[in-house]
Amino acid sequence: MRLSDVRMPRESRRSPVSWAALVTIVALVVPMAGLAPPALASTVTIAAAGDISRPSLGGPPQQTADLVTSLGTTAVFALGDTQYPHGSLSDFQNYYDASWGAFKNKTYPIPGNHEYETSGASGYFQYFGTGSAVPIAPPGYYSLNLGDWHIAFLNTNCTQIDCTAEKTWLKNDLNADTHLCDMVVYHATNLKWPRVKAEQYQVDIGLAASRHVYERWPPENGLTRFTVGTGGFSLGKLSSGFDAGFRTYGAIKMTLNTTGYDWAFLDTSSNVLDQGTRSCA
């Protein structure tokens, strides 16, 4: 990952001096975290799930963490609602950190709605503000390049942040991007505007959570959507209209190459329940 490729909204850039210092610090840390190869490699791998940690140890959150560890991917995407019930810093430190914290240094997170049950999602921002793959700060959305892919990470809590500004930022970000392959990562899978924006700018993958199931949806205007809310908190009900759907704990593994991607959804016993290959539009 090239640190010059990390794009955050202006609100996160407190001053030119402080941002430059931050980039210098992160640039020293990232190679130690094993994240230098994506800028050079034509293929990178990610593991992802959301709706993860309970306020207790062991159980399904630990099982999905063990699965993610076994996959040995380049990066991990935590798709929101990472710590239940309220996303407090103490719960992150006591519970999330005991399971998914094992790969925090290569984790790219986004906030869900439960993080904001602590005022301003302060527990989330304090926990992921240091030690994660990129420094996370309010308002909580950002973009970067991994390998040959451009990826935008969104904050879909529009009652908590200015989503009008976020939509403008996303439009400008995707307009400026020249990659063949793009992904948008967000929590609220049922929210319409991330999907509409992604289709408008010919994004290839929409990766979301919020609903506690795995569902893969038919491509629409080049966009294939995946819901992976199976990180360990609880299981919900399947909807309808999907190409594949499973009500089980697990994670998705994606291999991102120069012209397309492979995916496999695995349960906590490492059984592959859904898999396939697609080319970028």
The per-residue pLDDT for 281 is 84
- Cβ neighbours of residue 174 closer than 8 Å, sequence gap 6 or more: 150, 152, 182, 197, 201, 203
The per-residue pLDDT for 42 is 77
DSSP bridge partners of 76: 47, 107
Residue 120 in any domain: the answer is yes
Cis status, amide bond into 194, omega within 30 of 0: no
Cβ atoms within 10 Å of 40's Cβ, excluding its own:
8
Task: For the sheet with 142-146, list strands across it.
Answer: 142-146, 149-153, 181-188, 205-209, 224-228, 214-216, 244-246
Distance CA 131, CA 142 (A): 17
pLDDT digits (tens, 9 = 90+) for 235-247: 999 988 899 999 9
The tokens describing 81, both together, are 């609602």
Number of domains present in the structure of the chain:
1
- The CA-atom distances, in angstroms, between 172 and each of 35, 41, 201 are 26, 26, 10
Residue 30 in any domain: the answer is no
- Report residues of the chain scoring pLDDT below 70: 1-41
The per-residue pLDDT for 240 is 87
Residue 265 in any domain: the answer is yes
Residue 72 in any domain: the answer is yes
CATH number of the domain where residue 115 is located: 3.60.21.10
Phi-psi region of 46 (alpha: psi -120 to 50; beta: other; left: phi over 0): beta
The per-residue pLDDT for 7 is 67
The per-residue pLDDT for 115 is 96
Residue 32 in any domain: the answer is no
Residue 148 in any domain: the answer is yes
Long-range contacts of 157-165 (CB under 8 A, 24+ apart): 157/111, 157/112, 157/113, 157/115, 157/116, 157/121, 157/187, 160/116, 160/120, 160/121, 163/193, 165/9, 165/139
pLDDT digits (tens, 9 = 90+) for 24-71: 222 222 322 233 333 445 799 999 999 999 899 999 999 999 999 999
User: Which domain, by its residues, includes 269?
Assistant: 43-279
Residue 21 in any domain: the answer is no
Task: For the sheet with 44-49, list strands across it.
Answer: 107-109, 75-78, 44-49, 250-256, 260-267, 272-279
Residue 2 in any domain: the answer is no
